[in-house]
Every structure is written in structure tokens, then in C-alpha cells.
Amino acid sequence: MEGTGQKLWKRAKEVVPGGNMLLSKRAEMFLPEQWPAYFSQAKGCKVWDLDGNQFIDMSIMGIGTNTLGYGHPEVDDAVRKVVDQGNMSTFNCPEEVALAEKLIELHPWADMVRFARTGGEANAIAVRIARAASGKDKVAICGYHGWHDWYLSANLGDDQKLDGHLLPGLDPKGVPRELQGTVLPFNYNRIDELEALIAEHEVGVIKMEVSRNEGPQNQFLEKVRALATQHNIVLIFDECTSGFRETFGGLHKKFGVEPDMAVFGKALGNGYAISAVIGRRPVMENAQSTFISSTFWTERIGPAAALKVLEVMEREKSWEVITATGLKIRDRWQVLAQQHELAMTVSGLPAVQSYAFQSGDNLKYKTLVTQEMLKKGFLSTPLLFSCTQHDEDTIDDYIEALDSCFAQVKVCEEGASVDELLDGPVCHSGFKRLN
């Protein structure tokens, strides 16, 4: 039976291009024609759809924003307080000063901070400042950094450029062709590729994720840092995804490598919109030699939420909790795969990890598992962001439900038709298909 969410999704696609504002939340990315799509309530790690059905979220947890769980009472109370007092004014909100000071305290190499509300915005701000500081336009990138023109320009003239950077095959229509050649991708742990780019181009900025699917090898991060210093290049670490998941602050603290700038988002607000660019004073002061400004970067809710989030994180050592949780889940995924004799890979940080079946039918299996887990009351895909509300009982129930799904995959690998088990179309694959 078609539920209220499925019906609303059909209406949405008639009035909103793609159906919603975020590709990663489109129903087709999970379970076309079956995904509930909309929520009426979220609390802890539970989500309720528009028909009142309850699900345990063992998936993307607000695209990785809610490390403390949905509707954290202390964070929500802090937000309610500032809403009651007034969110916007002719004056500035004092919370942004306190938040800047806290982020600098956590990262002593940094001296100054600029705020925005989204990771994409913050990455664009960081690149603007870094280009101003270096006096050079070309940016060497490694990893995923948002949707803005500066980044997508890597695909101008060659739609394979961003393969391996989470945007394979994406057509950069609407991006000025004059930007071609300004962004130069290199692969993680390939210091030779970065060296070649620097030798061939006037690179002013290196923009990279500290780690995503694999860790640094052969002192990769140290070598990147040395190259940046040697050639007077501004080094930016994009910590929008990795920040506050393995350390209290940026993942770069784990490896002992300090950038010139770092970008934070997602977990910083636990579901409220806030992002930050931190950096060394000589670099950050270049924000004043260009123009970076926006009305709603001055609202009060984001900074107030972030301050309380950091307080709760520090008290509960949330980064340790979600890392330990992720490692437990990873181990139990692997046990299930072994028990069912399935070839499977696991990648990512412990608190941001995914599995994939080594099969030509992997996408169909992903759809099947999502479908069957939904019937069992779980929002479950191969990508899982851990949160502090994923307790032992929840994990046990999740693994028990997943066990029978892996058993179905094994039957299909032995010759049964997976197509006959699917109740609808196969889900879409990442960024390769937008509709």
C-alpha cells in the first residue's frame, strides 16, 4: 500500500527539480517508489514517517549531522532559549565570538574563524580566502568538496576528472567554461601526482580531505604539508565529514599534521545549520581583501547550537563513543559476511563507514537489503553514520535483522533471481544519475 510519504514524493517531483534540495536524501537513492521519504518526528536514533510508522535509523543520520542523536534535549533547549530571546537583530549575536574562541582553543595552530551555515558554503569561502592569500588561482584537490562552481569546474572538458572524488561522471552544465583548468584533482596517497601538478602548474591552494575511505600511507599527509610549505601553497583540510568523529576537533589532530586552514560542518551543529572555516592569521586576514558576506550567516541559532554541541561532546567524549560503536558494527558486518560466505568490502572511518558486496549485482543487493530492513523497521543502507544513541541493544537488533538479509543475498549469489525478490525498481548509484 502506498503511504503518505510516497504520495508526497510524487507531488514533490512535479514542483521541485529532483524532488528535494539534497541529492543524498532523494528516495531513489534508497528504495524507489517504496521509501517513506518524509518524517514527522525524529528522536535519538528513531524516525517516524508521516503515517506514524517508527524506524530505527541505521543509515545516514541526517547525512552525518546528528552524532549526538536526533533531538538532543540540551542542544534543543539552547536553541529554544535563543529563539525566545530573538534569532536576528541589527546587532551581532555574541555566541559567534565564544564559538570562534572555542574552535581556536581546540586547534591552537589556528588564530581566526569565519562562519557560514553549510559545508559547501564554507568550502567556497575557504578557497576564496586561500586564493586571495596565495595570489594564485589554481587549486589542487583530493576528495569531495561540495557543489560550487570552483569545484565542479574540474569536470569541464573531461567528465572523468572527478572520478574517485565522489562525483563521477557529473556533467558540469552551468559552470562557466572559463574556469576550465583552475581545479586539478589528485588521488589520495599519490604524492607523485601532487608533485607533478605543482611542477606543471602555478598551484596556489591544496584542498583535501584528511581521510575518507583509507588512511594515509608512507607519511602522505606530512609530505603534502612539506610540499605546501616549500612552494608557498595554502593547505586546506576539509573536515566537514571527518571533524569531531575520531578526535575532539579535526581528524588531522590524530595524525599530527597542521594545515593552514580547516573547514568544519555537519556534526558541529547536531542538525542545526552551522559551518566554520578556521585558519592562521596571515591567511585568514585575506578575507578582508575580498568580499565574503551573507545575511543569514549572522543568525543566532547555529552558533548557539554549536556551543552546546561542543559542551556535550566534550563531557561525553562522543568521538570515542561513535568510533567504538562503528568498530563494533564493522566487526559484526564482517562476521555476517563470513558466516554467509559473501565477498564484501568495508571502507571509511569507523563512524562513517560503508560495505559493498563484491558482485555485479551489488546495486540490486543494496536495494534488496534496504527493502527488507525497512519491512523490519530499520532505515538501513550500506552507508552508516554512527551516533551516541546507537546502544548495544539497538546494534544487536540491527545485526539480527541484517542476518536474514545477508542470507537472501547469499541465496541470490548461488543462482536465485534477485529481481524476483525486489518489490520495485533498483536504487540509483551515487552521483552518476541525478534523476
Q: What is the pLDDT of residues 371-429, one digit of tens each?
A: 999 999 999 999 999 999 999 999 999 999 999 999 999 999 999 999 999 999 999 98
Alpha-carbon span 1 to 256, nearest angstrom: 54
218: pLDDT strictly greater than 70 = yes
92: pLDDT strictly greater than 60 = yes
Q: Between β-strands 54-58 and 378-380, what pairing exists: parallel, antiparallel or unpaired?
A: parallel
Q: Between β-strands 275-279 and 112-116, what pairing exists: parallel, antiparallel or unpaired?
A: antiparallel
166: pLDDT strictly greater than 90 = no
Phi, psi of 110 (to 5 degrees): -90, 150
Determine the pLDDT at residue 167. Answer: 64
pLDDT band at 431 (very low <50, low <70, confident <90, very high): low
Classified as helix, coil or strand, 260 is coil
Question: Residue-wise over 259-275: b if at least 16 C-beta within 10 A, else e?
Answer: bbbbbbbbbbbbbbbbb
Q: What is the pLDDT of residues 22-74, one digit of tens each?
A: 989 999 999 999 999 999 999 999 999 999 999 999 999 999 999 999 999 99
Determine the pLDDT at residue 31. Answer: 97
Report whether 262 contacts 249 (CB < 8 A): no
Determine the pLDDT at residue 432. Answer: 52
The domains found in the chain, sorted by start residue, are: 4-71+317-421 (3.90.1150.10), 73-316 (3.40.640.10)
pTM of the model: 0.94
Dihedral sign of CA atoms 175, 176, 178, 182 in order: negative
